[in-house]
Structure 1
Amino acid sequence: PYRAEDETSARFVPRFNFSVDDLLRRVDFNIKGDDLIVFLHIQKTGGTTFGRHLVRNIQLEQPCECRAGQKKCTCHRPGKRETWLFSRFSTGW
């Protein structure tokens, strides 16, 4: 039986069998270095919400610059003109 975080029975059966280690894996991302996130949006997977979260809700030293009414934001590394995020929200594709 699958359990939710609060130990109640879950109502769904996972479609993918990720191990606990996979789900808890820590990945170091160096926003001030050369690391880059390439976010590929796949329709009907929650990608729009996730992409919006990447550019609007994460507490960054240098927040992304988003213009009202546009699906495009500029996400520069702190103190640089280099981008750390490549997605439809950072390039407008």
Structure 2
Amino acid sequence: MAVKLPDELKLTETDFLILSVLRDGRNIPANIALDIDRARNYINQRMPYLLDYDLVEKIGPYEDSGLYELTERGRLAYEHRAEYHDDDVDFDEYLDELVGES
């Protein structure tokens, strides 16, 4: 399910919470929703967005298993989340540069 990407990466507080949970390992949206006290439907809406920006990866033995893990780009996004709020930083380009360095 592809999401029409906006001109710039727009992350929510919930997106960073999702990335935080996935730092601990693979997980499914239902468990993530419980961990961060958010509605499961909302988590299910955010996952394709995070997937399209290569912040998470869908894994598992089946295509529709619903199991996700953090990508390197997602790990860097979480670790550098303070820069996301800096108006002088294009966070998407910033992440691309960081991934290129690692």
- Give the TM-score taking structure 2 as reference length: 0.28
Q: Which one has more relative contact order, counting CA pairs under 8 Å at least 6 apart?
A: 2
State the structure with more CA Rg: 1
Q: Quick check: which one's helix share is greater?
A: 2
Under a length normalisation based on structure 1, what TM-score does the superposition of the two structures give? Answer: 0.30
